[in-house]
Copies of this chain bind each other. A is one copy, B any other.
Amino acid sequence: MKRRSRNPGSQTALRQLNRQRIIDTLLGSGPSTQAEISRSTGLSTATVSNIVKNMAAKGLVFTSPTTSSGRRAVSVTFNGNGAIAVGIDFGRSHVRVVLANLSYQVVAERAVPLPLGHHASESIKAAADLLARLLAEADLPRSAIVGAGAGIPGPIDRRTGTVVQGAILPEWVGIHLLDRLEKVLEVPVYADNDANLGALAEVTWGQYGSVSNLMFLKIGSGIGAGLILNGAPYYGHVGVTGEIGHATINEHGPICRCGNRGCLETVASTATMIELLGRGSAEPLTVGDIVSRALAKDSATLRVIDDAGLAVGRAIGNVANLINPEIIVVGGPLAGLGAILLDPIRRGLLRHAVPVVGESTTLAMSSLGDRAEALGAASLVFAQQGISRR
């Protein structure tokens, strides 16, 4: 949520970079003496000593006296369990909370269902209750928490820290998230869009740690993308990025909740699928029904998914032409469809991307399932604290 420094040469940014170098060294080489850290980072011993002292005070590293070449030295060890990040995924009909440590292990995890259309204060209370319960179960003090990350299914204006119009959760629009959450959770809170957190999860918890340019595409009630560009989460000018659900697919198509016409969401969101397939049925359809019908080869369901996939593929073809990602990971509640959804998306991508781009873009389903957003929220905490691997 905090704006990243606009001036990469500022002293604050420099200190952060220096700290990151030291963490990278400790994660890469294991316990090291301050002199070793100084040699491998190029930083002066005074700089290393200052940063190590500061990290030790926060419980991020342990220091212990040792000897090196017969001389007294200070050994520095990264404290994987010294800091716990909370990851919270606020969904339309659930809240999920994970506790993660610095070694990227989940220490505790729980989710609860919530009624559709519930108010923001309800889910914030549910998250606070889950957090208290998880801390008790894991026998951890609240003081071990370095911060909480919160994923929201809607764009966040980083200038004001509020959820902007057009969010999947209209009940959240205009709320100053961080203030509300920090008051209830009593820890520093960072918030981000759910698709951004999905992308962050793929490069921290998932299998794409070495990928510099990745797009996470979340297809759900809305359609949004999170971007990792040049190896870092990308937030753009005001923080509203990846809004490909509002790419115009059909100039004179149906009116979208954003006020525009023929947006991708009017063709390919799960809400649209439910509407198309639910006509005439007594009970309202669920996303789970769509997945199970498709897996049972129901022809109407397969057709709706194929059309949606082609439209998504067309939109991401245009996206790929612009940002030429190495990989596009598809997440969200339809992930269980596998190739049934991925194949039409790939056809659309290859049809609409320029050949070299289409051929060099890998398309895959997320392996993190419905945990991606919460895991990414935990990563956000480490990233904002300058203690991440990215």
Q: Contact residues of A with B, CB < 8 Å?
A: 6, 8-9, 14-15, 18, 21, 24, 28, 38, 41-45, 47, 155, 157, 164-166, 210, 212-213, 225, 227, 229-232, 234-244, 246-248, 258-260, 314, 317-319, 321-326, 351-352, 354-357, 360-361
Contacts and interface: CB of A to CB of B under 8 A. Distances in A.
Integer count of this chain's copies in the complex: 2
A24 B38 contact: no
Contacts of A239: 324
Contact of A8 (B45, B157, B231, B325): B231
Given A42-B14, A243-B357, A314-B248, A24 B9 contact: yes
Given A14-B21, A166-B354, A240-B354, 13 more contacts: A8-B231, A14-B42, A42-B43, A155-B356, A165-B355, A237-B324, A237-B325, A240-B360, A243-B321, A243-B322, A243-B354, A248-B317, A260-B351
Contact of A322 (B41, B43, B314, B323): B323
A38 B183 CA distance: 43
Nearest to A241: B324
Nearest to A239: B324
Given A18-B42, A351-B260, A324 B248 contact: no
Nearest to A359: B238
A275 B157 CA distance: 43
Nearest to A324: B236
A356 B164 contact: yes
